[in-house]
Structure formats: structure tokens, C-alpha cells
Amino acid sequence: MKKNINFIVEENENNLRVDVLINKREELISRTRIKNLILKEKLKLNDEIIKSPSKKVLTGDKLSLNIPEPEVASLKPYDFKLEIIHEDEDLLVINKPAGIIMHPGAGNYDKTIVNALMHYDNNSLSTIGDELRPGIVHRIDKNTSGLVVIAKNNETHENLSKQFSDHTITRVYQLLIWGKLRPSSGRIDTFITRSSKNRQLMEVSRSKGKHAITNYKTIEIFENDKTPTLSLVECKLETGRTHQIRVHMTHMGNSIVGDDKYKKKYKKLKNIDMGLESLISKLNRQFLHAKTLGFIHPKTNEEMIFSSILPQELNNLLKMLKNTSE
């Protein structure tokens, strides 16, 4: 619904970023949404339009934020069978397969999870995000599989967005990497920014970009004469940055098996089991699966935890590894 937020900056709020201040005043509106509204010129500071979310405010400044009516998405339904793990009046939890992107974008406008949701029930999706992203609170990469929560209404969307923004969502991923992590478990704490060499990729930075934290532990190591050294790893995210796990694993020197963006071109491995080599070389996705998703239900305040098993193509590779390692 359309809404106007008006207030005057108090003394204890002096010198705060304007997006931080609005988020403190209006806790149910996520900082990401506030930023997007500011970039869309919906904020006035002392009757002047402000376009910078990082603008600092002064005591006595007058703020006015216009929250317009949600844009109605105009999307073509896509007849794609969704694997629904949970559904109630407010949200859906789906198990996304690899190979399909979350929402329309450059090069793909009609065969996405959003289009599948429009086919499933186009009248029960939140509308406060981008007009091409109804219901989408968060994303996982095209070639990553696993659990995603979808908001059916705007109140649920705002609440879940706030939980993501506050980093209180539980997200656990399972992955297979080349080599061994040293140490075998730990915490990766860096900044992640867009790559200066390739704008489609992200990279670790010492000082710029967004703060990113990944907790990891090695579950099992596969290593013998017929097996290249590979490790099954579990990662628990404290933040959710673009390509975060893929970037952090590459930063550690252990890229994810099957990752065509963050790994050098696949090279033929010598003296390994032919069946195993075939499974690795034909894997058309990264071995990365969003295994566990947990959050507080926006309406019931109940803690909800969902888990999913590895998809068949990843499970087959893991079984082969276990057999050749025995």
C-alpha cells in the first residue's frame, strides 16, 4: 500500500546515514528496500530529492520518504513443476533445481522461478520488490540447487527481508571442492566486491565492497590412487553476498567442483577411475546445494527449519567417490 513517512532528525541521530536512520525508525522496512526507494528518488531531505543512501543527516533535518503503490508484474506464466517443501497462507519454501534462474533478467525473460510461480498462483505473491521479482526475498545462483523461501504477501516479504538484513536466517550449504581446506574448519571474514577484470564475477577485497562471513567445516576427504583429492564441505552463512561461497572457496584456493566461472578450465586427470572422471567432466553445474533454511515465521513467530537432500546428479557423484575411496 502507498505510504508516506515524515519525521525530523533528533539530536541523538545526528550524522547517521539516511538509510540507516530510516531503517532504525521503520524497522519493518528492510534497508535494501529503503536504498532502492532512495535510488528511485522517493526521498526528500529538507524538501530536496536525495539520491544517495549514504547521505549523512543533521539534527533538525526534515525527511520525507514516499513509498508508492507496488508495481504490478507483467509476466508470462511458465508451466514448470515446482518442488514445494512447505506452503501456508503467507509463504512457500521450494527446492530449486540447478539450471533455472530465480527471476527474469537479461537474456531470460520467461523461463524462471518467478514465471513458474506466476503459473502456480499469480495472485498470491508479494509485490513490493522489483516488478520482475514478485515474491522473491532472496536468490540462489542458476546452477546452485536447494531451498528458497517465497513471500506470498507484502507484510511477509518485509519481515523476511528484515531477517535476511539482520543476518538471523539459517542457511547451510553442502559442497564438493578440489583439494583440502587448511585449516579443515574455520571462519572466512572478508569483503566481497565486483571483479575489476570481469564484471560478471566477484572477488575478495581487503577494504571495499560488502562484508562477507562464511563458517565452514570439512565433512569428508576423498583421496587415494584412483581419486583426485576432493573434500565434502558444509558452509553456514552469516551474510548472503553474491556468489559468496564460490568466491570464498576460490579465495582459499579450493574452487567448487563443476564451477565454470570460478575455476580454470577442466583438465583431464590421470590415473583415476574412469566412471568417476566421466561424472566429474559431465557435471554441468557446480556441486553446491542449499541444504538447510531456517527463519522465524512472520505471522506465527514459530521457528521453522527446512532441510533437503542432494539432487540425484550430485548424490551419484558422491556415491562414486565413496566407492572408489574404499
C-beta atoms surrounding 235 within 10 Å = 20
Coil, helix or strand at residue 63: strand
Closest CA to 243 of 300, 322, 190: 190
pLDDT value for 110: 86
Catalytic-role residue among 19, 61, 141, 273 = 141
Is the pLDDT assigned to residue 265 strictly greater than 60? no
Please report which confidence band the pLDDT of residue 199 belongs to, taking 50, 70 and 90 as the band edges. Answer: confident
Rounded to the nearest angstrom, the gap between the alpha carbon of residue 135 and the centroid of all alpha carbons in its chain is: 14
Is the pLDDT assigned to residue 222 strictly greater than 90? yes
Burial label, 94 (beta-carbon count in 10 A; 0-12, 13-18, 19+): buried
Active site residue 260: no
pTM over 0.75: yes
| Chain position carrying cell 559442497 | 175
The whole-angstrom separation of Cα 46 and Cα 40 is 17
Query: Is the omega angle on the peptide bond into residue 183 within 30 degrees of 0, that is, cis?
Result: yes
The whole-angstrom separation of Cα 251 and Cα 195 is 13
What are residue 13's phi and psi, to 5 degrees? -105, 0
What are residue 128's phi and psi, to 5 degrees? -90, -10
Model pLDDT for residues 268-326, shown as the tens digit of each residue: 566 678 888 888 888 999 999 999 999 999 999 999 999 999 999 999 999 999 888 76
